[in-house]
Amino acid sequence: MNKLGNYVLGKWINGEGEGQALYNAVNGDIINYASTKGLDFGAILEYGRKKGSASLSKYNFHERGRMLRALALHLRNHLDKFYEISYKTGATKADSWIDIEGGIGNLFSYASLRRKFPNERFCLDGEPHMLGKGGTFMAQHILVPKEGVAIHINAFNFPVWGMLEKIAVNLLAGVAAVVKPATITSYLTEAVVREIINSAILPEGSLQLICGSAGDILDHVTAQDVVTFTGSASTGIKLKSNPHILASNTPFNMEADSLNSIVLGDDVIPEMPEWNIFIKEVRREMTVKAGQKCTAIRRIFVPENRLEDVYIALGKALSQTHIGNPLNEKVRMGSLAGQEQRNEVKAQVQKLLAGSQIVYGSLDSVELIDADAKKGAFMSPLLLMNETPFTSEAVHEVEAFGPVSTLMPYKTLDEATQLSKKGKGSLVCSIVTADYDKASEFVLGAATHHGRILVLNAECEKESTGYGSPLPLLVHGGPGRAGGGEEMGGVRGVKHYMQRVAVQGSPSVVTAITHVYQPGAITNENEKHPFRKYFEELEIGDSLVTAKRTVTEADIVNFANVSWDHFYAHTDHTSLEGTIFEKPVAHGYFIMSAAAGLFVDAKKGPVLLNYGIEEMRFTKPVYAGTTIGVRLTVKEKIDQEKREPTDVAKGIVKWLVEVTDQINELVAIGTILTMVKKKNQD
């Protein structure tokens, strides 16, 4: 008997007993058994906390990001193996590409996201807040990795993507994961985890896998853990209501299947490119993964005078979709994940048929290529029509999680907006329109009930990732029925696995804790110019107070001529009445240029180049006769990795530039960045 392994407590363990049989969705053969009987779920979670998260949290964001990149590269070397297994889930090559390579793409995306974080184990969150008038008391929010584990309970439809899109986020945050995929397709998840473990890239305990029942795992959660769930809303509510989750206030992120919708704008006619875009998008979302997508289109809203044209066009498009064995090159739609799933979809369709009718497809038969309908879990795409969407409740409440969508009419765009909201919360909706005003009206009207809104037209068609493609850097979730959670979301997603704490104290204390200089903190001044120091030698708070220079009228005139900036406030004495200026004022950019002239050390040294300016404010007018001076302070250091062995070893230094006048009042402040060479070139 071929039984799937559970990777827990640092080793592969088979559950006790025969377990649950897992079937090939295409031909019905038994391919594996899965069992978690006998596993100690409390010990599994504690191992993840004490071994996995404890190890991960010692690495900084950049080191964790490089682990993700190495893992992605490793998994790409085993694509053929993953594809071969994926076909058994009923997925076509295109379906498998989304699942497998899309999942690996998430690893690459979050690996690159490391550059949005500091070279630290923690990060700052938001701006500092000065709490005292004298400048001696302040606060700064910081984020640190939680000490628990991320428990991912995933759906069956994307056994690879569903895992990788979640663990990429928690691993970058510095938190270990326990993954519980849906049992029916867990054999593909197991194959990927075996390669992850074989790679030895992640610290031990960073990833554990459970193939089978989750048992009493949620009875062992703590306040430091994070639970994510993907699946049906009813199951999600049941899990979220676990007494231990409620008692510990354990964060629970739910991404539930929702009744997503698409709207055809009433400006679109068959002769427009947007018409074909609409038909193509609906057909794709009905047939990709045989409609087993949490983002699939379930409700289609079209102007009532276009209803017949749309269902005829969709029928023609769907009839060109060949269904059958995913290994056959002609096939464009495979099977559902299993016979039980097909039976569930048909049962849900029967509920929908109480108020709708089938206008394309058959509930009882399907024409196949190179496959047996009795053995495999195949199903015809079904396009339903409901002509009374405001009085029919089932179409807005019942989801058939397969190749099923319902077409409905609307009279006005406001009606379409209201109909989209009747799903009581969706992951995604879309409008296809060439009219910017209609797009704006719909988006702003429907935004409260959707996690993502895609506006499709001919301008973005070629580059659009499509209706059903959640992206790593965007939030994937939605309100209400969709679960009320957020997944991925780039930096936002990483913060879900971190604890936010407000740190209060003196600027010097906060500087010492955060490794970012806070104005008013103690500075370090010595005879050696900071531009003469290598990256390793510079310390946060290293500072230089420059000599002073007096701004002249000639400076203002000359800068205007050099820059071609002849804005009236700098050059026209006669136009200042009614303004805030008493006389022609120096250009702000001249002040910063003059400041650079005061603090720059001209000799060749460790500073390689000016990397840019992040912040700049001009706080007080500078007139001819004003004498300015500068304080230059090391604000933050960002290490840079070598992309090639021959690259110069270097880092980015952020400098706080404070420009004051002769009465020591601030006239300009900014943050400049320089690229600084390292002394050690290894």
Task: Give, to the nearest 10 degrees, the angle between helix 553-563 and helix 588-599.
Answer: 110
- Written as six digits, the tokens of 659 are 């420009």
| Residue in 120, 255, 399, 658 annotated catalytic | 255
Q: Of the candidates 220, 255, 247, which has an alpha carbon nearest to the alpha carbon of residue 44?
A: 220
Of residues 547, 566, 542, the one with CA closest to residue 556: 566
Rounded-to-integer distance, Cα 261 and Cα 575, Å: 57
Euclidean distance between CA atoms 402 and 413, whole angstroms: 28
* Among the listed residues 618, 658, 619, the one whose alpha carbon sits nearest the alpha carbon of residue 635: 658
Residues near 420 by beta carbon (within 8 Å), at least 6 away in sequence = 261, 263, 299, 301, 426, 429, 446, 449, 450
* List of residues 6+ apart from 210 with CB closer than 8 A: 6, 8, 36, 39, 44, 178, 179, 180, 217
DSSP classification of residue 515? S
Which of 182, 169, 233 is CA-nearest to residue 426? Answer: 233
Q: Where are the alpha helices (DSSP H) in 374-504?
A: 413-421, 436-446, 491-495
Q: Are the beta carbons of 172 and 110 closer than 8 angstroms?
A: yes
Cβ distance 469 to 116 under 8 Å? no
Nearest Cα residue to 404 out of 427, 381, 423: 381
State CA 35 to chain mean position distance: 32
Please say if 255 is a catalytic residue.
Answer: yes
Nearest to 156 by CA among 128, 197, 184: 184
Count, residues in the chain: 682
Q: Decide: 198 and 7 in contact? Cβ < 8 Å.
A: no
Q: Which residues lie closer than 8 Å to 97 by C-beta, 6 or more apart?
A: none
The answer to whether residues 353 and 384 touch, using CB atoms and an 8 Å cutoff, is: yes
**C-alpha–C-alpha distance, residues 274 and 466, integer Å:** 14
CA-based torsion, 348, 351, 352, 358: positive or negative: positive
Instruction: From 365, 377, 24, 470, select the one nearest 2 (Cα to Cα).
Output: 24
Q: How far apart are the first and last CA of the chain?
A: 53
**Apex 319 CA angle, 316 and 325, nearest 5:** 160
Q: Which residues are catalytic?
A: 255, 294
